Amino acid sequence: MDLDVFVSAHRAEWDRLDALLHRRGRLTGTEADELVTLYQRTATHLSLIQSSAPDPRIIGRLTQLVARARSAVTGTRRASWRDVTDFLTRGFPAAVYRARHWWVPTALISTAIAALIGWWIGTHPGVQASIAAPAELREMTRPGGQYETYYSSHPAASFAAQVWTNNAQAAAMCLVLGVFLGLPVLWILFQNMVNVGVGIGLMTSAGRLDTFLGLILPHGLLELTAVFVAAGTGLRLGWTVIDPGPRTRRTALAEEGRAALGMAIGLALVLFISGAIEGFVTPSGLPTWARIGIGIAAELAFLTYVYVLGGRATREGETGDVPESERSALLPTAA
């Protein structure tokens, strides 16, 4: 491409588009149609120059023109309560539902690993001795010991906020680091399962597994489900890097990455609920059956929310991605 000839041939169109964008007041119907046509042509021109004869000055001007024209054509909008409602009733549950083939197996395998670690520690005194000295183990597992007082060692509100912050960070790391082929996600998940397995093993060896489950199940069911969803989504994002399917790798990562970002916001809300349960219900004086019942109710409510609302929204075409009108414009490319 001879860039000088190309610019000379189309400069008048670019100048006309710039003039229409600077026009004060409303455009006539003919002018509006002309604006749309010039926007489409200029976007094509920009694509041609980028691929054939990249010139920073020309590309800079046309990029600005295309961006301004796109804003004028599509209009601008502000987030509203309707957006929040759509996200909570359609976008977020649909994203979690679509990722179920990743996070459900992740949950089952991780739970099995935690149980296996717990059995190994609980049945092997030598392993217990490698964790801590006998006196320290007794202090952790005795009635009123560290495992029990952990949940009431701080004021409920501050404890709930701290738990929520830590868990939200772990979930966000799973979602963000998934792009590195999912390897960091596996490590984060394994560390969490080791912590759970150690607690199961030590309390089992002390004959107090029922007490441990009564402390962890009220909040742990929902909390671990959120972590499993984040980990499964991160693993799916990592697999997208390896196998993007029929989409280009860039397009696939953009789509899955936007959905993962929205999921991070939704999971933060879920973890806020589990943090509140951990801060106010777990250390409360309620009977064990009541505390566990609250945890089971919260877990069933979340699963119902995902499979009913998310399944319905998915069947209607919702993917959890941002609306098409709010995505970055894809420039047409030359054939």
Report whether 216 contacts 203 (CB < 8 A). no
Distance CA 239, CA 242 (A): 5
Which are the contacts of 6, defined by CB distance < 8 A and separation ≥ 6?
A: 45, 48, 49, 53
- CA–CA separation, 103 and 98 (whole Å): 10
**Residue 322: its pLDDT value, please?**
54
DSSP H stretches of helix in 178-304: 183-205, 209-242, 249-276, 288-304
Interval 201-218 mean pLDDT: 90
Q: Using an 8 Å Cβ cutoff, are 216 and 223 in contact?
A: no
Residues 6-48: pLDDT tens digits? 888 888 998 988 888 887 677 787 888 888 888 888 888 888 8
Give tens-digit pLDDT for 152-197. 666 666 656 666 777 778 888 888 888 888 899 999 999 989 989 9
The model's pTM: 0.71
d(CA 120, CA 113): 10
pLDDT at res. 283: 85
Give the per-residue pLDDT at 328: 47
- For residue 317, pLDDT over 60 is answered with yes
The amino acid at 294? I
DSSP state of 79: -
d(CA 293, CA 76): 47
* Residue 283 · residue 156 · CB < 8 Å: yes
Least confident of 81-85, 223-227, 284-288: 81-85
* Whole-number Å distance between alpha carbons of 242 and 278: 38
What is the pLDDT, as a whole number, of residue 273?
A: 93
Average pLDDT over residues 244-264: 80
Give the pair of three-digit tokens for residue 324.
Answer: 């098409």
Q: Looking at residue 105, what is its pLDDT?
A: 96
Residues 94-146 pLDDT 10s: 999 999 999 999 999 999 999 999 999 999 999 998 988 989 998 888 888 88
Q: Please name the amino acid found at residue 303.
A: L
Confidence of residue 307 (pLDDT cuts 50, 70, 90): very high
Percent of the chain whose predicted confidence (pLDDT) is above 90: 33
Task: Indicate the pLDDT class of residue 217, thresholds 50, 70 and 90.
Answer: very high
pLDDT tens sequence across 324-333: 544 444 444 4
Nearest to 253 by CA among 331, 169, 181: 181
- Among 111, 101, 99, smallest CA distance to 190 is for 111
Residues in the chain: 335
Rounded to the nearest 10 degrees, how much is the dihedral formed by the CA atoms of 190, 228, 213, 136? 30
Q: What letter represents residue 22's amino acid? A: H
CA atoms of 44 and 47, how far apart (whole Å): 5
Residue predicted with more confidence, 164 or 282 = 282
Residues 6+ apart with CB under 8 A from 240: 249, 252, 253, 256
pLDDT at residue 246 tops 70: yes
Check residue 153 and give its pLDDT. 64
Tokens of 274: 């589990």
Output the pLDDT for position 294.
95
Question: Does residue 292 carry a pLDDT above 90?
Answer: yes
Question: What percent of the chain is modeled with pLDDT above 70?
Answer: 89
